Structure 1
Amino acid sequence: MNFPSRARIESVKKRYQEGMRVELIRMEDCQAPPVGTRGTVTGVDDLGSIMVDWDNGSSLSVVLGEDLCRVVRDNE
């Protein structure tokens, strides 16, 4: 397994700050929330995974390099 650099993790932490809203675009997990589900970022772990409390009750993290989410702006 290739671990992301410290600089890459710091970049992810700046982009996905606690309290931000995100929308799931892709997650390859049989227990993943449906694409389009929104949630609130609770943090970024030491591997760069984005920890999210999804609106449907799930708490699966968005794995850096595998899954994809986007930041949702207030007016969306």
Structure 2
Amino acid sequence: MKTKCDFKAGDRIRLLSMDDPDPIPAGTIGTVVAVYPQSDWTQVDVNWEGDRSLMLSIPPDQVQRIDASPQNQSGE
């Protein structure tokens, strides 16, 4: 299982799934604020759209990096 997390502050990400009692909805876009590597997992601090911030635990949470260019965010 891949546990390495190569995100950095400023990366734009899309949530695929979150293991949390009150999760951010899948598909929500966010910006990485900080990354805190642990021994076999990584904690990622994210500011999510909708003014909510909730840290990720990777694994088990799953996200994908997205292109931050304006033309790709508008869907054109």
With the length of structure 1 as denominator, give the TM-score of the two structures: 0.73
Which residues of 2 match residues 16-55 of structure 1 at below 5 A? 16-47=7-38, 48-55=42-49
Structure whose residues are more often helix by fraction: 1
User: What 5-or-longer segments of structure 2 have no aligned partner?
Assistant: none
Q: Cα RMSD over matched residues? A: 1.6
CA distance in structure 1 between the partners assigned to 2:60 and 2:21 by the alignment:
14
After the TM superposition, which segments of 4 or more aligned residues of structure 1 sit over 2 Å from their partners?
Answer: none
With the length of structure 2 as denominator, give the TM-score of the two structures: 0.73
User: What 5-or-longer segments of structure 1 have no aligned partner?
Assistant: none
CA distance in structure 1 between the partners assigned to 2:8 and 2:59 by the alignment:
18
Provide the aligned length of Structure 1 versus Structure 2: 65
- Identity level (%): 28
